[in-house]
Chain A
């Protein structure tokens, strides 16, 4: 390890004066801790986070590093379990003395790590968790979010829907658990602000085999639009059964960003045609910055980046800009520099809102056409962000 060689120097400096100690902290590589799932169900997400960060670190280091210092990434497996995430994050903060931390995927881990960062007076950021609470009622002065949160996704989709199908009657079908119910409630409130009417809502148990029992209700409501937030194999069954019953004709199906993904789109087949959702990133974004990023990512990892890879890639450039602006890696100075920071990412310009540490970014609406997602609309960052409801700082 590189740290082993510089420890004696550090010890010498610390022994000399405390000032020398802080001088040391400003030289040598900048260490960034990454606590992300490298085993278990969320491994594919953790993999994208890792690839995105590694690509960014490689590019930053090749261009001279952050303020002349090389970036060193330290990975730890959090197993998508907050208890493990907190333990690993504490190790990175206390033993490895990382300057910054990122990588948490499930929002429970992100919230727990935010609290830990506060208690260790360090900064952390998430590039994946989209639960609104992280930058609203449970916001933390030490946590930043550079990816789009749930509300930005539903606002973008609702804005497109209001244009495409004004005053549409929407039927809501969600998976029957807390997160399913809250995503439906969030989209419903955005859609109804845009003039949509509700045709009813129904919640099906997770892992339902048969959705046809709800079809009578859907037919009776005569909706123009069906919104769903089921995911994985549930989407496969729901959409194929809707198709088999001939309900898809003349119906627009929209959903959460995790409803139809690259993992289940082939299994859904033709039934996925026309499905639309709101997202913060798509590899098809037609900008030179994104084309360059996609090409580099594909060359390094033999696969396309998804939103997690792109948001993680973008994060390091935000940290670089903030550290260079602050002229230091000290928590308070970097926090000030990150607040209100605007920087370039593959998605375009992102700005971190000072009031709640949520990144504002342009949002996209994508629709499945011939088995692939096409960008069909975009919503400006100001229109998608929603109000700042964080009251802690």
Chain B
């Protein structure tokens, strides 16, 4: 036997793998039909999936609701935009967005982590609104109009290069970045650090008695989430060629929370599915009726009432069942069940 967390994470990984396969199929179809719009809409959905991933890391693992995650998304987007307008380098823009969102998340984390519960939600909301208003009123950052004129760039990987203007090329780049962020987050959650986060979510007061600093773990989760949001945001101006203060507004943070709830809180892969679902729903329903917000709101409420674990709550149990059945049969993956079993045993031993 191995513990439920590992097993459900494995199911999430399989869902993520299915997602990548579906994305690759879309990319192939898009190339075959010479499509631009759907590939670029898919790219946008992936970028917002990165933001949803960061919300899920906080909400689903350390158990705090951030209503201002768009703050770091916006910082990533603006820093990337400013960098790209000076030097058209993908790597430099990503590095700059990483540094800026890291620093901002440390500062934001020092403020927000002084409180928890509903106060944490309010502080994160407030921080994002304050910065959004500052950007909204700063002429150097384009104030309310935002900044246009972010160039289409070539992303160089040694001998290869891909243009951000190529719908399929940039879609694949964004897929790689977002999946790398997923893999990094999932890996960290599988380490002892991840277990401390899960412990925080279930009972924060007990964590110090186990010898861990609750504050340090919460802070680390917050900074990680900020960086994930910042790196996702850095991709936005490359896709759309502009940034505007609306990227930092509550609508952006709120959509990310809705994506996570639709997809399934605490599943990571669910956040990605949820975000794609929300972007597609908004695009289709928005063209169909001007009352799309009502429709989305109803879907959201129905989902909370009848699918409290979101899409992943529906998709994951069969995958988990399949995985555990599959593992009992010796053959294709004989060593897979052994390793986690040992890992759990060693942890269980000191008790």
Contact = CB atoms under 8 A, between A and B. Distances in A.
Question: Do A and B interact with each other, yes or no?
Answer: yes
Contacts of B148: 111-112, 114-115, 138
A39 B283 CA distance: 14
Interface string B287-326: 1001111000000000000000000000000000000000
B251 interface: yes
A291 interface: no
Interface in B126-170: 136-139, 143-146, 148-149, 152, 165
Contact of A111 (B36, B145, B165, B245): B145
B145 A90 contact: no
Given A81-B251, A94-B37, A115-B149, A179 B240 contact: no
A82 interface: yes
B180 to A, nearest CB: 24
Interface in B38-95: 38, 40-41, 44
A90 B240 CA distance: 10
Given A86-B240, A87-B41, A133 B145 contact: yes
A342 B146 CA distance: 32
Interface of B: 35-38, 40-41, 44, 136-139, 143-146, 148-149, 152, 165, 240-242, 244-247, 251, 283, 286-287, 290-293
Binding site of A, secondary structure by majority: helix, strand, loop or mixed? Answer: helix
A111 B242 contact: yes
Nearest to B138: A178
Given A112-B148, A178-B144, A77 B286 contact: yes
Contact of B244 (A76, A79, A83, A87): A83
B251 A77 contact: no
Given A87-B44, A133-B145, 8 more contacts: A83-B247, A87-B41, A90-B36, A95-B37, A112-B148, A119-B165, A119-B241, A177-B137
A284 B144 CA distance: 33
Contact of A115 (B36, B242, B286, B291): B242
Given A111-B145, A111-B146, A83 B41 contact: no
B241 A83 contact: no
A76 B290 CA distance: 8
Nearest to B147: A111
Contact of B241 (A38, A76, A93, A116): A116
Contact of B246 (A95, A108, A115, A178): A108
A77 B292 contact: yes
Contacts of A114: 148
B283 A87 contact: yes
A93 B286 CA distance: 16
Interface string A68-111: 00000001110101111011101101110000000000111001
A56 to B, nearest CB: 20
A125 interface: no
16 contacts: A39-B293, A83-B246, A84-B286, A86-B240, A91-B287, A108-B145, A108-B244, A108-B245, A111-B146, A111-B242, A112-B241, A119-B241, A177-B136, A178-B138, A178-B144, A179-B143
A8 B104 CA distance: 54
Contacts of A82: 146, 242, 244, 246
Contacts of A111: 145-146, 148, 242
A90 B293 contact: no
Given A39-B293, A108-B146, A178-B139, A90 B37 contact: yes
A106 B41 CA distance: 22
A93 to B, nearest CB: 8
Counting chain A CB atoms within 10 Å of each CB, the highest count among B251, B283, B290 belongs to: B290
A131 to B, nearest CB: 6
Contact of B40 (A77, A90, A107, A179): A90
Contacts of A106: 144
Given A39-B291, A138-B148, A178-B144, A94 B36 contact: yes
A133 B149 CA distance: 13
Contacts of B283: 87, 91
A364 B139 CA distance: 30
B136 A112 contact: no
Nearest to A82: B244
Nearest to A94: B37
B37 A81 contact: no
Nearest to A119: B241
Nearest to A180: B137
Interface in A319-368: none
Contacts of A119: 152, 165, 241
A83 B36 CA distance: 17
Interface in A14-61: 38-39
B143 A38 contact: no
Contacts of B149: 115, 138
A88 B136 contact: no
Contacts of B145: 107-108, 111, 131, 133, 138
Nearest to A86: B240
Contacts of B245: 108
Contacts of A112: 146, 148, 240-242, 244
Nearest to A138: B148
Counting chain B CB atoms within 10 Å of each CB, the highest count among A82, A86, A131 belongs to: A82
A77 B244 contact: no
Across the A-B interface, the 7 shortest Cβ-Cβ residue pairs: A94-B37, A38-B290, A178-B143, A82-B244, A108-B145, A112-B242, A81-B246
Counting chain A CB atoms within 10 Å of each CB, the highest count among B38, B152, B286 belongs to: B286
A387 B148 CA distance: 23
B287 A86 contact: no
A133 B147 CA distance: 12
Nearest to B246: A81
B243 to A, nearest CB: 9
A44 to B, nearest CB: 13
B268 to A, nearest CB: 24
A90 B251 CA distance: 21
Contact of B136 (A77, A131, A178): A178
